[in-house]
Amino acid sequence: MTDYLLLHRRGIGALISATATAAFFATYSASMFEFISPQLSPWLAVAAGVFLFEFAAFAWSQVEAKHADTREQIAIAGAGKWLALAGSILTTVVWFSMGE
């Protein structure tokens, strides 16, 4: 039961963080991909932001936990995980502090 509650709490936190990251990129980076398509640019910005921070943090943590064999691989995966997590936290904090 404790494992389920911990997993559920992490899932809710990840969902809130991903939503705030998506909102940040939709608001402040919506014109990032206008060279591809002005209509799709906000959606592409959201996808890029969520992939860059949320998915990358999850992927690097999986690599660190399950696929890294040497100390160097663990260090690289750990650095990638923390950088992606820091970006995710920063966009979430900025989004909520801007009050939009």
Q: Domain spans of the chain?
A: 2-98
Question: pLDDT tens digits for 23-62?
Answer: 999 988 899 999 999 999 999 999 999 999 888 888 888 8
Mean pLDDT across the stretch 6-17? 68
pLDDT(1) > 50: no
Q: According to the model, what pLDDT value does residue 70 have?
A: 92
Q: What does the alpha-carbon distance between residue 47 and residue 69 come to, in Å, rounded to a whole number?
A: 31
Task: Name which of 34, 63, 30 is nearest 49 in CA terms.
Answer: 30
Q: What does the alpha-carbon distance between residue 38 and residue 50 come to, in Å, rounded to a whole number?
A: 19
Task: Name which of 100, 83, 84 is nearest 23 in CA terms.
Answer: 100
In which band, very low, low, confident or very high, does the pLDDT at 5 lie, cut at 50, 70 and 90?
very low
Which pair of structure tokens corresponds to residue 35?
């060279």
